[in-house]
């Protein structure tokens, strides 16, 4: 019998994760829809109507791309950090480590799970935003590339965090103290050009700024930073995190003991 641990193994992981995400949709897909709808309603419609235009577009049109990106980031990150941590904690990860799947396939399987959830949530949230505003699409390719790459990036980040996490709390610490502040300060709600110079410069150190701006460019054709730099930052970070995951898997200090 021909065996294909790379393709069939990968497909098995992805299929299983897709079924899980859809089966427990009330936990995986619904929460970001509710949260984002509230943001659209409050910041976009109620407050946004009293806020001046930014870069010549209405406030709600300006924040929709950022809010969608925020939902994608959180969903991708949460998915890998929780599935991997759970697998480690229940030792089901051993099923994968004992199998002939190479490490990079196992990593790809987990990351794809996060991307599936991130992209599904992104599509659903964009759908919801249509109840609050109309959307233009300036550059479909940039839009999709920014969404998918950001999703890959935060799936990898979730994986690396889960490898190090010793407790469930360690997962929440990163979300609360790093991910949430960076997201809120990442130019979702304002253009960094409106900030005093010092805060503008500080904002440039926040990687999420580049993702939000690249994604917004896909919709509106406007960005606070150059598109090339944005994709450079995203792809650079993906490479760093992927290499880190592969090394951590290979060394196995936190995993294979």
Q: Which residues bind other proteins (CB under 8 A)?
A: 1, 3-9, 11-13, 16, 90-92, 94-102, 251-253, 256-257
Nearer to other proteins, 95 or 130 (CB): 95
8 A C-beta contact, residue 44 and residue 132: yes
Nearer to other proteins, 127 or 252 (CB): 252
Provide the minimum distance between the beta carbon of 178 and other proteins in the complex, in angstroms, as a whole number.
27
- What residues contact 231, with CB distance under 8 A and at least 6 apart? 145, 146, 149, 214
Provide the minimum distance between the beta carbon of 77 and other proteins in the complex, in angstroms, as a whole number.
22
* Token pair recorded at residue 210: 């580049």
* Token pair recorded at residue 254: 């936190």
Nearer to other proteins, 89 or 231 (CB): 89
Distances in Å between the alpha carbon of 186 and those of 22, 181, 210, 243?
Answer: 30, 8, 8, 25
State the DSSP code for 205: T
Provide the minimum distance between the beta carbon of 96 and other proteins in the complex, in angstroms, as a whole number.
6
Closest CA to 201 of 173, 220, 224: 224
Provide the minimum distance between the beta carbon of 53 and other proteins in the complex, in angstroms, as a whole number.
50
Nearer to other proteins, 83 or 150 (CB): 83
């Amino acid at each position: 019998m021909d065996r294909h641990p790379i393709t069939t193994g990968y497909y098995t992981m992805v299929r299983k994760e897709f079924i899980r995400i859809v089966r427990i949709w009330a936990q995986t897909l619904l929460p970001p829809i509710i949260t984002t709808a509230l943001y659209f309603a409050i910041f976009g419609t109620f407050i946004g109507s009293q806020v001046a235009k930014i870069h010549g577009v209405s406030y709600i049109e300006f924040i929709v791309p950022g809010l969608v990106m925020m939902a994608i980031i959180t969903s991708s990150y949460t998915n890998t950090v929780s599935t991997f941590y759970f697998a480690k904690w229940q030792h089901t990860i051993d099923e994968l480590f004992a199998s002939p799947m190479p490490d990079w396939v196992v990593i790809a399987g987990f990351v794809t799970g996060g991307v599936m959830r991130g992209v599904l949530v992104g599509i659903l949230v964009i759908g919801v935003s249509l109840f609050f505003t109309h959307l233009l699409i300036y550059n479909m390719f940039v839009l999709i590339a920014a969404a998918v790459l950001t999703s890959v990036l935060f799936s990898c980040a979730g994986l690396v965090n889960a490898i190090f996490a010793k407790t469930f709390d360690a997962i929440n610490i990163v979300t609360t103290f790093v991910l949430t502040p960076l997201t809120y300060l990442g130019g979702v709600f304002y253009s960094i050009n409106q900030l005093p110079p010092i805060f503008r410069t500080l904002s440039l150190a926040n990687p999420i700024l580049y993702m939000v701006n690249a994604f917004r460019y896909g919709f509106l054709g406007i960005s606070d930073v150059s598109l090339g730099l944005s994709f450079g930052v995203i792809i650079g970070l993906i490479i760093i995190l992927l290499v880190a995951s592969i090394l951590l898997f290979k060394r196995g200090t936190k995993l294979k003991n």
